[in-house]
């Protein structure tokens, strides 16, 4: 199951794809890891889906990552006496703490934290931005607004606040319960919604305590203001373009996508580009040309993974969506321009021994025409460091920890292999060559570059580089 591309594919599971048979077909078509959206999934169903993925993992003998996506706060207005009203441009409209059913003049806002945080001049977006209001007066339990863009408004529509930092945790009681259910199920990544500040990430990390990676979804304007701090606090990032495009002008989203991807790459954090990548394939067996270009842009940019949402969760053509994304990625990575762009965006290594060795390994692999880079890694940090270099040569990560192998399914270019830790240097070289030969990364007579930490099994201690030649017996013993 060697992939012919380096960018990874994250597929969301749902009604159209949550059977064991479909998960296996999606994996065969190109999915490297799977997303379970807790907005639509019970705890029992989540555990059942994890079990199905692990069955498929055993069938194919390849580590598969599982991402559980927390719902986050859902901010909504109350209900109207008539079920809906028509808001007219220029009219005054009040949001208040009175639970009485609303009228064309006012509506209940059951979020005191919003009312206390609003200030004159702040914008409110209702129903995914279809209606736009501007605050003219705010008293703590009542906000008077002017309708800037009117339209029909009905019960329980969502509220977005691009100008307002809301003093509320990114974790709701539901999220806490979902997280406590997911961690014992041995999932690999927790995606955190509604991140506004690095403290939101620290709160989750204190609960997770290393049992999973913590991925911050960048979907709020407030997160952009503290982006570098949030990236530093996170294990991984997601460019959640859907919500970003609601709370910010649409024309800003492409530039922000590039900024987030490059910021994550600079700090060596895996980054996923998500939302509407092949949206038309929910109902069509082929994508639009614009969608193909959108996926290609993320691959050219060097994102670690591209994500399918409803396309694989509830669409009519989930397998076709994955295979289409797979073909786009393979074609882009064959383009000589792809390597030119990737090289132009390379960052200077951090001033640590492990980072210096990773950068040197990439240079040596290109100078000597090495067939593959092979990293022995217990925690995954060595694999991450080398992936940050975006080397042209294939990268194998050999690890004794199944959780590490699964987490590396998210990381650009990494082909993770579960194996016993090396006993000594000779065993390290022999088994590295054997795995490279067995999985089709090197032929007898070709050279491979091996990185490891001595003493073996010490996390984060990458301090050795060894060049070895794959012998015929390595291929025979594979």
Q: What percent of the chain has pLDDT over 70?
A: 97
120 neighbors 60 (Cβ within 8 angstroms)? no
Question: Are residue 182 and residue 239 in the same domain, yes or no?
Answer: yes
pLDDT tens digit sequence for 120-170: 999 999 999 999 999 999 999 999 999 999 999 999 999 999 999 998 899
In a domain, 345, yes or no: no
Question: Are residue 50 and residue 178 in the same domain, yes or no?
Answer: yes
Which of 285, 304, 337 is at the close of a domain? 337
Beta bridge partners of 131: 126
In a domain, 165, yes or no: no
pLDDT tens digit sequence for 414-462: 999 999 988 889 999 999 999 999 999 999 999 999 998 877 666 666 7
In a domain, 96, yes or no: yes
Question: Are residue 182 and residue 327 in the same domain, yes or no?
Answer: yes
In a domain, 343, yes or no: no
Residue spans of alpha helices (H) in 309-449: 310-313, 318-334, 336-344, 353-367, 381-388, 402-407, 425-438
Range 339-354 average pLDDT: 88
CATH number at residue 196: 3.20.20.60
The count of C-alpha atoms lying within 13 angstroms of the C-alpha of 271, restricted to the half-sphere facing its C-beta, is 27
Number of domains in the chain: 3
List, as one string, the DSSP characters of 137-181: EE-SSEEEEEEEE-EEEETT-BEE-TT----S-S--HHHHHHHHH
CATH number at residue 405: 3.40.1380.20
In a domain, 78, yes or no: no
The yes-or-no verdict on residue 243 having pLDDT over 70 is yes
Question: Are residue 277 and residue 370 in the same domain, yes or no?
Answer: no
Question: Are residue 187 and residue 306 in the same domain, yes or no?
Answer: yes
Quote the tokens at residue 97: 């703490």
Residue 458: what pLDDT?
64
374 neighbors 413 (Cβ within 8 angstroms)? no
pLDDT tens digit sequence for 281-322: 999 999 999 999 999 999 999 999 999 999 999 999 999 999
What range defines the domain where residue 134 resides?
Answer: 84-160
Question: Are residue 324 and residue 420 in the same domain, yes or no?
Answer: no
Question: Are residue 65 and residue 119 in the same domain, yes or no?
Answer: no
pLDDT tens digit sequence for 72-123: 999 999 999 999 999 999 999 999 999 999 999 999 999 999 999 999 999 9
In a domain, 77, yes or no: no
The yes-or-no verdict on residue 278 having pLDDT over 60 is yes
Which of 308, 337, 366 is at the close of a domain? 337
Question: Are residue 12 and residue 149 in the same domain, yes or no?
Answer: no
Cα–Cα dist 34/27, whole Å: 9
In a domain, 2, yes or no: no
Which of 286, 308, 337 is at the close of a domain? 337
Catalytic residue numbers, as ranges: 35, 76, 217, 275
Question: Are residue 369 and residue 471 in the same domain, yes or no?
Answer: yes
């Amino acid at each position: 199951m060697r992939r012919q591309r380096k960018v990874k594919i994250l597929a969301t599971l749902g009604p159209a794809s949550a059977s064991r048979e479909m998960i296996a077909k999606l994996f065969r078509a190109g999915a490297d890891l799977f997303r379970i959206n807790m907005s639509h999934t019970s705890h029992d169903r989540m555990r059942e889906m994890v079990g199905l993925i692990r069955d498929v993992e055993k069938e194919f003998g390849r580590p598969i990552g599982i991402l559980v996506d927390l719902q986050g706060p859902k901010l909504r207005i109350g209900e109207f006496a008539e079920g809906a009203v028509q808001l007219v441009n220029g009219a005054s409209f009040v949001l208040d703490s009175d639970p009485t059913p609303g009228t064309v003049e006012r509506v209940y806002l059951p979020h005191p934290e919003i009312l206390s945080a609003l200030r004159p001049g702040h914008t409110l977006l209702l129903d995914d931005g279809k209606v736009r209001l501007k605050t003219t007066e705010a008293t703590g339990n009542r906000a008077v607004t002017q309708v800037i863009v009117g339209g029909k408004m009905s019960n329980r529509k969502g509220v977005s606040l691009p100008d307002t930092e809301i003093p509320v945790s990114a974790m709701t009681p539901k999220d806490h319960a979902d997280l406590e259910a997911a961690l014992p199920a041995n999932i690999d990544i927790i995606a955190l919604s509604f991140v506004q500040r690095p403290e939101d990430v620290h709160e989750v990390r204190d609960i997770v305590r290393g049992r999973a990676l913590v991925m911050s979804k960048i979907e709020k304007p407030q997160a952009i203001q503290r982006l570098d701090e949030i990236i530093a606090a996170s294990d991984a990032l997601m460019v959640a373009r859907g919500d970003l495009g609601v709370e910010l002008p649409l024309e800003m989203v492409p530039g922000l996508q590039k900024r987030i991807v490059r910021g994550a790459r600079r700090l060596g954090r895996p980054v996923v580009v998500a939302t509407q990548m092949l949206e038309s394939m929910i109902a069509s067996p082929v994508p639009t040309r614009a969608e193909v270009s959108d996926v290609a842009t993320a691959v050219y940019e060097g994102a670690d993974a591209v994500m399918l949402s409803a396309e694989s969760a509830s669409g009519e053509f989930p397998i076709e969506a994955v295979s289409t994304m797979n073909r786009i990625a393979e074609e882009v990575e064959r383009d000589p321009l792809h390597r030119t762009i990737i090289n132009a965006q390379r960052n200077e290594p951090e001033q640590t021994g492990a980072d210096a060795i990773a950068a040197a390994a990439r240079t040596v692999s290109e100078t000597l025409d090495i067939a593959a880079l092979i990293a022995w890694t217990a925690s995954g940090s060595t694999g991450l460091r080398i992936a940050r270099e975006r080397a042209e040569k294939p990268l194998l990560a050999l690890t004794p920890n199944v959780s590490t192998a699964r987490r590396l399914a998210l990381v650009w270019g990494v082909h993770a292999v579960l194996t016993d830790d090396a006993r000594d240097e000779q065993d390290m070289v022999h088994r590295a060559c054997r795995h490279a030969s067995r999985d089709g990364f090197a032929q007898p007579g070709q050279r491979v570059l091996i990185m490891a930490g001595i003493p073996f099994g010490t996390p984060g201690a990458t301090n050795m580089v060894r060049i070895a030649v794959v012998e015929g017996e390595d291929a025979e013993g594979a």
